[in-house]
Structure 1
Amino acid sequence: MSGMTALLAQAAELRLLRPLDVQFAQLLADDDYPARLLLAACLSAEAGDGHVCLPLTQLSRDNLFNGRHAELAHAIWQAAGEPQDWHAEVSDWPALHSHDRAAPIVLSENRLYLHRLWHHEGQVARFFQSQATAQQFASEQVREVLDQLFGIAPDNWQKIAAAVALTQKTAVISGGPGTGKTTTVAKLLAALIRLSGDALRIQLAAPTGKAAARLTESLGKALQKLPVSEAERLRFPAEATTLHRLLGAQPETQRLRYHAGNPLHLDVLVVDEASMVDLGMMANLIAALPPQARVIFLGDRDQLASVEAGAVLGDICRCAEAGYSAARALQLSEITGCAVAGNDEHSAPPVRDSICLLRKSYRFDANSGIGQLASAVNAGDAKAVEAALQAGFSDIARKPLNDAEAYQAMLAEIAAGYQPFLKLISQRADPAEIIAAFGRYQLLCALREGPFGVQGLNQRIEQKLMQLQLIRRPTGGSRWYQGRPVMVTRNDSALGLFNGDIGITLFDDEGLLKVFFPLPDGSIKAVQPSRLPTHDTAWAMTVHKSQGSEFDHTALVMPAQFLPVLTRELIYTAITRARKQLTLYSDENVFRRAVQLRTQRRSGLLERLSGE
């Protein structure tokens, strides 16, 4: 190993690159072309970090590895020949895709892509461009139905959101916690059912089992309050499913039952928690839609982006910053009776007319610390964040983790948080009641490893609970015990379990340990531990894994030292998991720095939506 390959291997040893990135580079170039080796390794690393593309303007000596290990970065840059013109470096590269040669890397404008991600991004961009066309019911009918369901008010953005979705084939509705996304979609579906003479095939879906169960429950509650007839009520979908189940994911393969050649059988699709939908899943979903389908995407654009590549919801919602076109604003004003502003900025992408941003929270009032803190964090306003934390709100608490004593005190508080759940187990309560109790308190972590991460805290929480005799782990090294919560980390469609599903280990009627999982339809499935796909203990879970869930009391633990993974979006997502109570275990400076750091997912979707 010599030259650039050896330098990239050093970077991998320092965890600046993954071994996979170096191997990928070696497949596409060799030490005779050091700049290409560097480019391929960086592109692979970017994809691993969730970016869709590598803008060539971002690649410079000082930007390499985000300024870390500058000496090695400078040596690598020098070995690459201090490139000035990347287009010249790749012009005759066999690994570069062209109109007459399929290859793994694509250069589009000034952005370098893995072919798969370039293809997916193009699919998504073309879909949202083509869907930005009106699908009309008679305006008078729409106005009458919306007035029946929403009433008449000058600034009802839930009503405007429903009007957007009724007059477009595809709509995107984004709003924070408590802004009424579920209420809006319940009334929207009622309007569609009322306006459509034919029986509509409506499907509800979400990225995870937990999110699907929540959508089923919350939509069911919203439906009970609607002024709809029994006949209309029966036309509502009974339950939500996961996107994997919806598309018919095949066990142990990447194959899907539904795709462009075998589209889904539906007329209306509602996708909740759309911020969690990565670029690949979005491309698969839209490929499987039949031509007549209406789609409504619901989500919170300010939450963490998907685990896999892309920030699709965030990119699309950026198009809304231009406001509605003048013609669209007039149409929405006439249909809703609300004052909707518009402008004639002709360069704005047409998809802006398919988006509605809900801004008013009905859950958190002026006395809610959670609401004020979430709003301040989302704005990146350090003074407002500190004011919310210092104001003495009863629903938020910040506790520093500055020594071993504070850490032990935190473990004791976490054990107390889970005690009501464990008490129900000791009382042999019904599994459904036990599962519901587990969802009332949850510890979230920013990291996976270390004493402040999921793995370290799961071990320490187990030790604390054993010490307090709240759980009993068997001798002989088995990890299974009554009360153990587990999270599935790999899809198993044969079992009907998917990544993110949470189950509780309990004795069944025959005295055997089983893991009980709540399903989206409200039923419970008991699975033998030995049959489970890959899984983790879930006393603590990452903030990413908590998306799509809410808890009465949410606790967030952050590491003692600042790390780049600690971002505004991560903290906002954690805060907004809390319904009634939030506890922050964090150093003040670490928290403040995280609020200032925004997540940047590099992609070309916004430019492609704009026709660039």
Structure 2
Amino acid sequence: MTIQERLLEAVEQKLLRPIDAQFALTVAGNDDPAVTLAAALLSHDAGEGHVCLPLSRLTLTEEAHPLLVAWISETATPIDWKKRLLASAAVSCGDSPAPLILCGDRLYLNRMWCNERTVARFFNEVNQAIAVDEDQLSRILDALFPPTDEVNWQKVAAAVALTRRISVISGGPGTGKTTTVAKLLAALIQMADGERCRIRLAAPTGKAAARLTESLGAALRQLPLTDAQKKRIPEDASTLHRLLGAQPGSQRLRHHAGNPLHLDVLVVDEASMIDLPMMSRLIDALPPHGRVIFLGDRDQLASVEAGAVLGDICAYVNAGFTAERARQLSRLTGSAIPAGAGTQAASLRDSLCLLQKSYRFGSDSGIGKLAAAINCGDRSAIQAVFQQGFSDIEKRTLQSSDDYAGMLDEALAGYGRYLRLLHEKATPEAILQAFNEYQLLCALREGPFGVRGLNDRIEQAMVQQRKIQRHPHSRWYEGRPVMIARNDSALGLFNGDIGIALDRGRGYASGL
């Protein structure tokens, strides 16, 4: 069987996408079959969110792609992948134009290789330090952050960002990322002392931008800033696409290396959602003098497209600060900041800070211990947490239809207050708030334990118990939850926003 036939068979078996086979045949169809196969698997992995294809993935292991297993079994001869790839005109080491780039033991799409180089150079830039008056900065930080008996990592994070051109602040839910950035922006304005300091706020999605606008605005209102100082901090955040000047129907952006953004400081929230190509484009558009502060949670789901940039960068946070950097941060914050060992990736390490204390739940609570065990990927620790009898978490295994019915009854009870307020004709705001107090999270989309299956069964139970009244020929009913699937900035609605359908004929002026 030829490699072309093998690829088409893999497409029919859903082992590859049609575009994977077409790409491989286009760039290496007349080449060595091994190169064609590698190109198809690289395209497949890129579609799965991977930046490159390690050559170790081209060996027979338990996780090997079925197409690779079938083809190697057919050839029945050892394959020197590096030698055969470099012998192809479709592959280069980066020193000449080619659709595929072999860098060390990793095979890249040319575009992804260029993006990764841009991002790597940016974050590993040696000269990131910003000269500051340490005495002045220390006084400002002391005024913004109340003294504590332990290391205040919010204060440390602010000190990191105020003394580096590039900084990354990572923290889980409730660790105070927004509070931290509000205070560091306040410090920045005070240190600027009337000099130009153009600040922009951005996030990957419309919903994230709206949330940043709201939460940062609330945090800034609590700070002792003059009206003139507050006016220097923008009231609205934009999406990254809007910031960069994305144009409908075009891949071109208004802002790039030749036409950089007009700003001095950029704050980017939800940085874990930024994929490699977008990060590369953002970096290209930054002015040489511009500072950028990335906020996010390294343990959140990575971006949908290829490249978990924030997660990869934050892998160095456990290495700690260099000794010199730890001494500087100790002087600025008044706390003893521990130093890590060695000098590997020193520039990157000294630009990172992990917010380690959650103000939403204690580290000794059930949810705190469970979150820590999950983030570490420690299965035995996860089981141990559930066995300790914490009151705020519970694990149950559904083993029968009765168990499943019991789960549905609990869901109905959870939505009870929202349904009661709906029948009492409460305000739309109260109904929506009550609805948001209870949520079911599903790991699946389909099936009895998936989003669709559970939604359908809960609705059916509500109808049977006459908690809701469906229209005879429609799935719509008063109180039906809806989720926005497309941004509409004119209405202030963004992908992922949740609302409730209300009957305007029963006295409601509008629905939420």
Q: CA offset at residue 13 of structure 1?
A: 4.5
- Unaligned residue ranges in structure 2 (runs of 5+): none
Q: Is the 8 A contact 1:193 1:199 kept in 2?
A: no
> Partner letter of residue 33 of structure 1?
D
Q: Which of residues 166, 171, 187 in structure 2 aligns to 1:170?
A: 166
Report matched runs for 1:480-559 at 5 Å: 480-489=476-485, 499-507=495-503, 516=512
Asked if 1:78 corresponds to 2:73, the answer is yes
**Larger mean Cα displacement after TM superposition, 45-54 or 325-334:** 325-334
Q: What is the match of residue 350 of structure 1?
A: 347
State how far apart, in whole Å, the 2-side matches of 1:420 and 1:426 are: 10
SS state at 1:297 partner: strand
Q: What is the match of residue 368 of structure 2?
A: 371
Aligned CA RMSD, in angstroms, stands at 3.1
Q: Which of residues 300, 305, 313 in structure 2 aligns to 1:303?
A: 300
> Partner letter of residue 19 of structure 1?
P
Which protein is richer in strand relative to its size? 1
Report matched runs for 1:280-299 at 5 Å: 280-299=277-296
Report matched runs for 1:44-55 at 5 Å: 44-55=43-54
| Alignment deviations for residues 174-213 of structure 1 (CA, whole Å, 9 cap, x no partner) | 1222222222112111111111122533232223333333
Q: What is the match of residue 116 of structure 1?
A: 111
Q: CA offset at residue 96 of structure 1?
A: 2.5
Q: What is the match of residue 182 of structure 1?
A: 178
- Unaligned residue ranges in structure 1 (runs of 5+): 517-612
State how far apart, in whole Å, the 2-side matches of 1:344 and 1:390 are: 37
Q: CA offset at residue 503 of structure 1?
A: 4.3
> Partner letter of residue 174 of structure 1?
S
Q: What is the match of residue 223 of structure 2?
A: 226
Count of paired positions? 510
Q: Is the 8 A contact 1:506 1:513 kept in 2?
A: no
Q: CA offset at residue 323 of structure 1?
A: 2.0
> Partner letter of residue 204 of structure 2?
P
Q: Is the 8 A contact 1:271 1:298 kept in 2?
A: yes
Q: CA offset at residue 248 of structure 1?
A: 3.8
Q: CA offset at residue 164 of structure 1?
A: 0.6
Q: Is the 8 A contact 1:131 1:170 kept in 2?
A: no
Q: What is the match of residue 319 of structure 1?
A: 316
Q: Is the 8 A contact 1:471 1:483 kept in 2?
A: yes
Q: Is the 8 A contact 1:29 1:36 kept in 2?
A: yes
Q: Is the 8 A contact 1:36 1:89 kept in 2?
A: yes
SS state at 2:394 partner: strand
Q: What is the match of residue 16 of structure 1?
A: 15
Q: What is the match of residue 42 of structure 2?
A: 43
Report matched runs for 1:116-195 at 5 Å: 116-130=111-125, 133-153=128-148, 155-195=151-191
State how far apart, in whole Å, the 2-side matches of 1:382 and 1:200 are: 48
Change (3 A) 1:98 1:348: closer
**Larger mean Cα displacement after TM superposition, 504-513 or 101-110:** 504-513
**Larger mean Cα displacement after TM superposition, 310-319 or 382-391:** 382-391
- Percent same amino acid among aligned pairs? 57
**Larger mean Cα displacement after TM superposition, 158-167 or 244-253:** 244-253
Q: Which runs of 4+ in 1 moved over 6 A?
A: 492-496, 509-515
Q: Which of residues 409, 412, 420 in structure 2 aligns to 1:412?
A: 409
Asked if 1:395 corresponds to 2:385, the answer is no
Asked if 1:453 corresponds to 2:456, the answer is no
Q: CA offset at residue 25 of structure 1?
A: 2.2
State how far apart, in whole Å, the 2-side matches of 1:387 and 1:228 are: 48
SS state at 1:361 partner: coil
Report matched runs for 1:374-385 at 5 Å: 374-385=371-382
Report matched runs for 1:267-278 at 5 Å: 267-278=264-275
SS state at 1:203 partner: strand
State how far apart, in whole Å, the 1-side matches of 2:461 and 2:151 are: 52
> Partner letter of residue 322 of structure 1?
A
Q: CA offset at residue 169 of structure 1?
A: 1.0
SS state at 2:439 partner: strand
> Partner letter of residue 386 of structure 2?
L
SS state at 1:171 partner: strand
State how far apart, in whole Å, the 2-side matches of 1:439 and 1:351 are: 39
State how far apart, in whole Å, the 2-side matches of 1:268 and 1:486 are: 37
Change (3 A) 1:199 1:29: closer
Q: What is the match of residue 32 of structure 2?
A: 33
State how far apart, in whole Å, the 1-side matches of 2:127 and 2:413 are: 51
Q: TM-score normalised to the size of structure 2?
A: 0.88
Q: TM-score normalised to the size of structure 1?
A: 0.75
Change (3 A) 1:134 1:101: closer
